[in-house]
Amino acid sequence: MSKFRLKNLPLSRQILILFMLLTSVLGIGVGIVFPFAVKQYLVNNTYSLLEQEFYTLSDHISFNEHNELLPVPAAAPYFLQVLLSRYEYSFDMIVFSTDGVELGSRITERERFSYNDAAALYKKAASYPGNKLQHGTLERGGEDYLFVSRLMDYHGFPYYMVLFSKERELNQINSLLTRQFLMIFVVLLLISWLLAVWFSRYLSKPLRSLDESCQKIARRQFDTPLTLDRGDEIGQLARSFETMKDQLKEHDESQRHFVQNISHELKTPIMAIQGYTQGLLEGVFQGPQAEKGLQTIMQESKRLEKVVGQLLYLTKIESVSQMMQMGRVDVTEMFQLLEQRLSVLNPDISWQLDLPPALILEGDGEQLSTAFVNILENQLRYAKSRLVVTGRQADDRVVITIANDGPPIEEALLPQLFQRFRKGKSGKHGLGLAIARAVFEAHKGSIAVRNEAEGPCFTITLPVKR
């Protein structure tokens, strides 16, 4: 039996289980801590109310000529009586002389409070030094009492006044509040679980939509739009998937276009070679025609070799760019050498190099030279009279522009100009610009083209340090 793992469950179920575990642990913790916290609060509050009642009753304490306590008003713990009206909660009082004689009392359950209990309460109250209001507890006959006491004086007559309450009533109140709290907590817990179920489904529904869209993309179904009207991370993920789908669709179309074009590029020289070879074998071509046929075979084979070589080079650049031989490259010096080398291809074109004395970057000089040669050959093929090369360093990048005064590039061709076998009317194999883009991207750079008023302009951006 396979080992259970939470991560193997659906995301909605993971969210639900984790939320239930979290709220259950929280509920258990609160259920344990809450009664103790409430009990402590009630004890502290009871002492506070006892103090208030003590000072209230002390203003009404009086004795007759026999030092007997006169009647005092009933205690009224208003706060607790209103809050806990179903329970009989009261404060009891006993007044002692300094020698422990009970001078008077007001006790609601006298039959449960014996003389020994009163004596123990006096002894505990009298054990505190001074005449400050004192807090204390007393355990008698299985009953716990909370009391406040103080040594008082009535016109020169000293006495102890003790105000006390049974802790049993606090335990009842604590039990009541705990039960009410737990009932409310259970209701809130159930509601939160229902909300967690809804939230998990709400969160997992768009993810399921993304999964279905990915399955369609895997089946090369690129026409189904992927739209989620969300501004959160899931919406951002959906937009990223949509961008990926568009790029895959473009790549798929490019691959089909590539296969069609390479078939055409390879088929033409192969058919020419086969035709002339067949004619030579059958004796169709004799004398000068045979020599012309052999020259044609040689030309077409060289053309075929060049196409295959460029394809292999392009594949190498795109797949193993980390094998480049990086070093110090002076772009200014490279273009000066390229001008000397390529100006003979079209002597009618004037070169204008607007470059700083030195423009240094880190790269593979041989590959960069190949890329720039491909671009310059393309420019020289279409230029009318002028070729302009400018270069500058902007922060940590080198920006190079190559422009000519030839006709503008077809607008429909601009987005696909750097794809393999995409070429204009006068283009050759359609691989030169694709190779240039692959070289620049391998150097963590980029290339773009736009039509200016004077003519097409290529912009190459390369990092100074790769």
- Domain containing residue 261: CATH number: 1.10.287.130
> How many domains does one find in the chain?
3
Examine the domain organization and report whether 335 and 446 are in the same domain: yes
Examine the domain organization and report whether 34 and 142 are in the same domain: yes
pLDDT along the chain (466 residues), means of 10: 59 73 77 74 73 77 77 56 48 84 78 77 81 81 80 85 77 72 80 80 76 77 70 74 78 67 67 76 74 78 71 58 75 90 86 91 88 88 90 90 89 74 52 82 89 89 87
Say if 71 falls within a structural domain: yes
CATH of the domain at 168: 3.30.450
Say if 227 falls within a structural domain: no
pLDDT number for residue 85 = 44
Kindly calculate the radius of gyration of the chain based on its CA atoms and give it in whole angstroms. 49
Residue corresponding to tokens 């449960």: 112
Say if 142 falls within a structural domain: yes
pLDDT number for residue 93 = 83
Residue that is last in its domain, among 319, 338, 360? 319
- Distance (Å, rounded) from C-alpha 17 to C-alpha 21? 6
| Domain enclosing residue 370, as ranges | 323-463
- Residue 294, helix vs strand vs coil: helix
Q: Which amino acid is at 337?
A: L
Query: pTM for the complete prediction?
Result: 0.44
Examine the domain organization and report whether 435 and 454 are in the same domain: yes
Examine the domain organization and report whether 310 and 425 are in the same domain: no
pLDDT number for residue 462 = 93
CATH of the domain at 446: 3.30.565.10
- Distance (Å, rounded) from C-alpha 112 to C-alpha 172? 18
Examine the domain organization and report whether 367 and 422 are in the same domain: yes
Q: CA dist 10 to 193, 290, 352, Å?
A: 17, 74, 64
Examine the domain organization and report whether 369 and 274 are in the same domain: no
Examine the domain organization and report whether 358 and 438 are in the same domain: yes
Say if 198 falls within a structural domain: no
Say if 448 falls within a structural domain: yes
Residue of 424, 401, 427 lying closest to 414 (CA atoms): 424
Residue that is last in its domain, among 175, 208, 243? 175
CB 54 within 8 A of CB 148: yes
Say if 215 falls within a structural domain: no
Examine the domain organization and report whether 167 and 40 are in the same domain: yes
Examine the domain organization and report whether 328 and 315 are in the same domain: no
Say if 404 falls within a structural domain: yes
Examine the domain organization and report whether 128 and 276 are in the same domain: no
Complete DSSP assignment for 237-283: HHHHHHHHHHHHHHHHHHHHHHHHHHHHHHHHHHHHHHHHHHHHHTT
Instruction: State how far Cα 446 lies from the chain centre.
Output: 29
Would you state the structure tokens that stand for residue 62, as one six-digit string?
A: 């009086």
Q: Which amino acid is at 251?
A: H
Examine the domain organization and report whether 278 and 351 are in the same domain: no
Examine the domain organization and report whether 240 and 116 are in the same domain: no
